[in-house]
Amino acid sequence: MTMDSCNQQYHFAVFGDIHGRIALMYTLAFLWENESGMKLSGLLQVGDMGAFPNPFKIDEATQKYAQIDPDELGFHKFCTQTQEGEFYLSRQNTPNTYFIRGNHEDFEYLGSISQPKTLDPWQRLYFIPDGQQITLFKHSERQYIIGGFGGIPPSTEHRARGKKARQTYRKAHRHASTSSRFFSEDFAKSAFKKSEKMDILMTHAGPQCPDLQSGSIILAELAKRIRPKVHLFGHHHQVIGPCQGPGNSLLVGLEHLNFNKNGELKEGAWGILTLSVDSAHFIFSSPKNLPFLKTLKRETYRSLLN
C-alpha cells in the first residue's frame, strides 16, 4: 500500500487469541473490506495463533478443544499448500498477518525462528519473535514499526517479604526460565533497547494497569520504557479499553476469537485500528456497527465468501 500524503490513514484488523481459526480471521477481514469499501493494511494477531504445523503434535488444551471445534487445528492448513490456504491467502490483495507467540503454540517450531519471517507458501503470515520488530511500508514517506513480545509472565512477579514469599518468587522465575510458555524478566528488561520508536507493541499477556489489575508488572515496565503509540494484547479473555495504558499508549485487550453457546461470535474478539501520523483510533467490531456479523455462524461462515 502506497502513501499519497502524510495524513494517509492505515486500517488494521486486530484479533485476540484465535487458536487455529485463521479461516475465520480472514473471513472477517474480507467481509469488513467488502462492507466498508476500504482496504486493510494488515491483520494483527496477539498470540495463541495456534501455530501447530503438525496436528498430531499439540498440547493438551488444544487437543481437548479440537474435539469440539476442529478449527483449533487450522494452522496446518495454512503453513502448507492446501486448498483452504490457497482460497484465503493466494488472492492478489490478501492483507498480510503479523503475529506473535502465545502460550498455546508449538514452541520448538516457533523457537527456531530468530527474525520476523513468513511461515506459509503464500508469504502472508509473518511471525514476529520476542523482542523483534518489523517495519511496514518501507518505501513510503511514513513507516510503521511493530514490535512483538509473546508468552506469559512468571506466575509470581513481585518479590515480597518473608522466606516463603522469596521461595515462591524464585521458584516461579526458575520455572519461567525452563518453560517455553513464559518470558523472563531479564529478557523483557533488555528487549527493544535499540528501538528509537515503536508504533505498535503486541504482547500476548497484558500490562498491569487500572483496567487490568491482574496484568503483568514486567510488561507495564516494558511499555513505560519504550512508549509505544498503541499496545495490543490478548490472553486474559477480557475486553479492555480502548484506554490509556502504561507509557501513555492506546491500550486494547481482546477476547479470544470464538463462538458462544448461542452460536454467535463473541464480542470484543476483534476490531479495527486506524493509524495516521498524529492519531490512533480503535473500535471493536460488533453487530451494531457491522450487520453482517448477525449472519455469522460456526458451521457456515466459510460460505459467506462464495
Task: Look up residue 49 and give its three cell numbers.
Answer: 495463533
Helices and strands (H and E) in the chain: how many? 7, 13
Give the long-range contacts of residues 280-287, CB within 8 A, separation 24 or more: 280/229, 280/230, 280/250, 281/242, 281/250, 282/14, 282/230, 282/241, 282/242, 282/250, 282/252, 283/242, 284/239, 285/28, 285/32
- What is the 3-state composition of the chain as percent helix, strand, coil, each rounded to the nearest 5? 30, 25, 50
Domains with residue ranges and CATH for the chain: 10-153+183-305 (3.60.21.10)
Phi/psi at 92 (5° precision): -60, -40
Measure the CA–CA gap between 260 and 267, rounded to whole angstroms: 9
**pLDDT band, very low/low/confident/very high, at 158 (cuts 50, 70, 90):** low
Q: Which amino acid makes up residue 162?
A: G
Over residues 232-271, the pLDDT tens digits come to 999 999 999 999 999 999 999 999 999 998 889 999 999 9
Over residues 96-117, the pLDDT tens digits come to 999 999 999 999 999 999 999 9
At residue 165, does pLDDT exceed 50? no
Measure the CA–CA gap between 33 and 133, rounded to whole angstroms: 26
At residue 82, does pLDDT exceed 80? yes
Q: How far is CA 52 from CA 71, 75, 188, in A?
A: 12, 6, 25
At residue 277, does pLDDT exceed 80? yes
Over residues 20-47, the pLDDT tens digits come to 999 999 999 999 999 999 999 999 999 9
- pLDDT at res. 2: 37
Q: Which amino acid makes up residue 241?
A: G
**pLDDT band, very low/low/confident/very high, at 154 (cuts 50, 70, 90):** confident
Q: Kindly report the pTM of this predicted structure.
A: 0.92
Mean residue pLDDT of the chain comes to 91
**pLDDT band, very low/low/confident/very high, at 1 (cuts 50, 70, 90):** very low
At residue 178, does pLDDT exceed 70? no
Measure the CA–CA gap between 118 and 26, rounded to whole angstroms: 16
- pLDDT at res. 195: 75
What is the side-by-side order of every strand in the sheet holding 97-99?
117-118, 125-127, 97-99, 42-45, 10-15, 270-276, 279-284
Q: Which residue has the cell 531479564?
A: 186
**Which residues are CB-contacts of 56 (< 8 A; sequence separation ≥ 6)?**
none
At residue 182, does pLDDT exceed 70? yes
- pLDDT at res. 185: 92
